Amino acid sequence: MQRGCDRLDPPILICVHSGEFLGLSSGKADLSWTLPVVDEICSGAGSIFGGAALGAAISALEMAAERPLVWATGQFISYSKPPEEITVDVTIRAAGKGTTQAFCLAHVDGRPVIEVMAALGNRDSALHNSWVERLEVPAPDDCPVSTFLSDRPTISSRFERRLARGNLDRDNDPAVPDGRSALWFKIPDELDVDAGVLGILGDYVPFGAHMAIGPQPTRTSFTSLDNTIRVVELVPTTWVLADVQIFSITNGFCQGIVHLWAEDGTLLATASQTSQMRAR
């Protein structure tokens, strides 16, 4: 896998992968890790950001399998808030010549927070293509800064964000008519562009849902029930574009997809989610 710091000139010799970025460390047993829950991996609501939980699970899965992630799907079971400590346990279910199937349970003293199924591996093939068209948006420097809604440190505050398509003022600007919005994320200089980072950035269907519905009489929130990510290709990039398409919001649930793009137009990964809608 290519490393995020390869994009810098001169290159940084010590890079941080997503597990280190999130605070993941080795646990007391083999195939077990610990993740202290701190504000910097939480959402503005004060509990662990779903993408951070999935990113930590992905990092643990890759270390356990010693193979890169191909696909992972996580089901969010419960919340976890500071100062809890999450235990991340990995089980290898099948390991072939080119592919490993694995399971990860992230829990707090046995209470499940997220359960993740995954496939990992890398197979040689002459076929190399993708057929998804990227949303046409301005370059990051030509987009306005997307501000944070929380006055405390959060996972989102660790990335510079630029609004490429959507409404800056969620309370007054009109809804995005086609349900499609986009955010540029600047990758911190020392951070790898790896599958765990893409797991974090793929958790932005709730953002797209707010862009799609526009101002509401009652402030609403969207809470992710799941997150699936399919890694396509990892390339060095300073900015990642989260291209969010909301499919539907019905019966109190939102369905959507996020294509993650490098600055050069490479499709990095695709994520999909279901979120539940709540009045606040």
Residue type, 55: G
What phi and psi values does residue 23 have, to the nearest 5 degrees?
100, 15
- Look at residue 15 in the predicted model and tell me its pLDDT: 72
Q: How many CB atoms lie within 10 A of CB 213?
A: 18
- Show pLDDT as tens, one digit a residue, over the chain (280 residues): 334 465 445 444 457 899 999 999 998 889 999 999 999 999 988 999 999 999 999 999 999 999 999 999 999 999 999 999 999 999 999 999 999 999 999 999 999 999 999 999 998 888 888 899 999 999 999 999 987 666 789 999 999 999 999 998 877 788 999 999 999 999 999 899 999 999 999 999 999 999 999 888 778 889 999 999 999 999 999 999 999 999 999 999 999 999 999 999 999 999 999 999 988 7
User: How far is residue 36's CA from residue 43's CA, in Å, rounded to a whole number?
Assistant: 15
C-alpha 11, offset from chain centre:
25
Beta bridge partners of 248: 255
- Look at residue 11 in the predicted model and tell me its pLDDT: 47
Q: How many CB atoms lie within 10 A of CB 181?
A: 27
Q: Are 146 and 183 in contact (CB under 8 A)?
A: yes
Helix (H), strand (E) counts: the chain: 4, 13
- Look at residue 124 in the predicted model and tell me its pLDDT: 81
Q: Are 193 and 232 in contact (CB under 8 A)?
A: no
3-state secondary structure of 176: coil
- Look at residue 10 in the predicted model and tell me its pLDDT: 46
How many angstroms separate the Cα of 159 from the Cα of each of 7, 16, 101, 153, 168? Answer: 17, 15, 31, 11, 17
Q: How many CB atoms lie within 10 A of CB 237?
A: 22
- Sorted by where each starts, the structural domains of the chain and their CATH numbers stand as 4-122+139-279 (2.40.160.210)
